[in-house]
Amino acid sequence: MVNRDRVNELTAAAIQGALAKIHADGLSLQTCQHYLRAVKQFTRWLTREGRIEDDVLSHLSGFNTATDWRRERRAMTGDELRQLVGCVKSSATWRGMGGADRGMLYRVACGTGYRAGELRSLSRRSFHLDSDPPTVTLDARHSKRRRADRQPIRSDLAEVLGAWLADKPGEGPVFAIPDKTAMMIRRDLRRARAAWVRTVSDRSERRVRLQRDFLAEVDADGRVLDFHSLRVTYITLVVKGGASVRVAQELARHSDPKLTMNVYSKLGVHDLTGALAGLPSVRPDRDDTVNALRATGTYATHPPQLSPQLGHETPRRRATACDENRSGSGNAGGRKSLSNAKLRESERQGAALRPAGVEPATPGLGNR
Q: Residue type for 132, please?
A: D
Residue 337 pLDDT > 60 = no
In terms of pLDDT, which residue wins out, 94 or 254? Answer: 94
| Lowest pLDDT segment from 10-19, 109-118, 173-182, 337-346 | 337-346
Mean pLDDT of 195-215: 95
**Domain 71-274 architecture:** Orthogonal Bundle (1.10)
Residue 221 pLDDT > 70 = yes
Q: Which pLDDT does position 366 carry in this prediction?
A: 46
| Lowest pLDDT segment from 118-127, 235-244, 298-307 | 298-307
Q: Which pLDDT does position 148 carry in this prediction?
A: 84
Q: Which pLDDT does position 349 carry in this prediction?
A: 53
- Closest C-alpha among 124, 110, 199 to residue 162: 124
Spatial neighbors of 303 by CB under 8 A, at least 6 apart, are 297, 357, 358
pLDDT in tens, 13-24: 999 999 999 988
For residues 6 and 51, give the distance between their C-alpha atoms in angstroms, rounded to a whole number.
12
pLDDT band at residue 344 under the 50/70/90 scheme: low
Where do the structural domains in the chain lie, given as residue ranges? 4-68, 71-274, 301-352
Spatial neighbors of 194 by CB under 8 A, at least 6 apart, are none
Q: Percentage of residues in the chain with pLDDT exceeding 70?
A: 67
For residues 355 and 317, give the distance between their C-alpha atoms in angstroms, rounded to a whole number.
10
pLDDT band at residue 273 under the 50/70/90 scheme: low
Q: Which pLDDT does position 304 carry in this prediction?
A: 52
